[in-house]
Structure formats: C-alpha cells, structure tokens
Amino acid sequence: MGTPVAYLLDEKGRIAKPVAVGARDVPELAAHAAGHHSRLQTERPMSESRIEREGLKAGTPAPPFELPTLRGETASLAQQRGRRVLLVFSDPDCGPCEKVLPELARLHRERRSDALEIIMVSRGELEENRRKAEAFGIDFPVVLQSGWKLSKKYGIFATPIAFLINEEGVIERDVARGPSEILSLAEPALSAEGRVPIA
C-alpha cells in the first residue's frame, strides 16, 4: 500500500482498527491508541470526509502542477502536452519506493521514448532527494511537492503510487499502488507498442 500506513493491534495481536493511510490518519490512530480521544471527537468521521483518498479515476483530467526540480529548474504537466506522462509519487523515507525506483530508472534508460516522460514527485529535503536520485541512477525529472499538496489534488496520500496520463492531460488508468502495480503500468507504457487504453 505504500507509506505511511499503520494498524492498531490489541493485546492479543489482533487488528483493532481499520488500516490508517496517510499523514493525517496515521497520527489520528496513534492519538486514539494513546488515549487522546478528545481531539478525535471534534473531527468528522472518515466516512463524511470530502477529500478523495483512493486516487483520481481513469478519464479524469490530471491536475496541473508547476514544481521545482532537483536541478533548480521548473517542471510542469503543461510542458508535457502531446506526450504521455508516468507520474510517480515517492518519498525518500519510503521503503517500497527503494524497490521500484531503480527499476524505473533502468526501464527509462533502456526504453527511453519521446512519446512518454517519467516524472517523479517527491517530498522532503532537496539534498536528501538528490542523494537518493543519484544512488538510484535516476535521470528523469524529479520535482518536489510541499508536504502532500499535489498528492491531495490527485486524491491519494501514500507512496509509491503512479498515474499514467495521456497526451491530452487525462488520466489513462486508475492509480497503480506499490512496486508491482507501478512496474506493470510502466513496462507496457515504455514499450514501442505499449498503448494502454483508458479503463
């Protein structure tokens, strides 16, 4: 499922609460486990939240962005109009990201295509992300979001996840979660004949 996620276990090792996903829900679950119920009681239940948390669906226009890259430039979705984009959300502290990012870097080197660009959206500090990108051999653009700001627009608070966006800026497939799903989306997209139809 990516990170951050958390389960609350009871004294017998059984799951006591549904899984918490994201930067808001994990601290709430921790507060609940610690007995700090007063803050939680003032908030709406998740079922009443209007914030999308399962990812934007195929056929939805991809939210635009303009963010700084690790090289001090600016990258935007608008710059890629006419090309498909594999938009990958990552985090330098995310364990599962360390499994998928080297594979994406390899695929990008081996199957580089003018028809598709990989863009990684990361969180955290600039230097930490630079070290990770260098360690993984990433030569596609890496942009930095502030907190979960862009993740919120795409309706999911987890990493690693990815969206495939078509030439017109529309999401082609539902969100891919975790290394296996992301690679299953990336490999055909980067192949010469890899047209992935809208689900």
Q: What is the mean pLDDT of the chain?
A: 86
Compare 25 and 79 and report the one with higher pLDDT. 79
Select from 160, 180, 199, 196 the least CA-distant residue to 85.
196
The ranges assigned to domains in the chain are 5-48, 66-190
Residue range 145-165: mean pLDDT, rounded: 95
Confidence of residue 197 (pLDDT cuts 50, 70, 90): very low
pLDDT digits (tens, 9 = 90+) for 70-125: 999 999 999 999 999 999 999 998 999 999 999 999 999 988 878 889 999 999 99
Query: Which CATH superfamily, name and number, covers 66-190?
Result: Glutaredoxin (3.40.30.10)
Nearest CA-CA partner of 161 in 169, 170, 197, 152:
152
Confidence of residue 50 (pLDDT cuts 50, 70, 90): low
**Residue that is written with structure tokens 């594999």 in the block:** 86
Sign of CA dihedral 90, 95, 96, 101: positive
- pLDDT confidence bin for 9, thresholds 50/70/90: confident
Query: What is the pLDDT at residue 181?
Result: 96
Nearest Cα to 87, choosing from 198, 25, 170, 197?
170
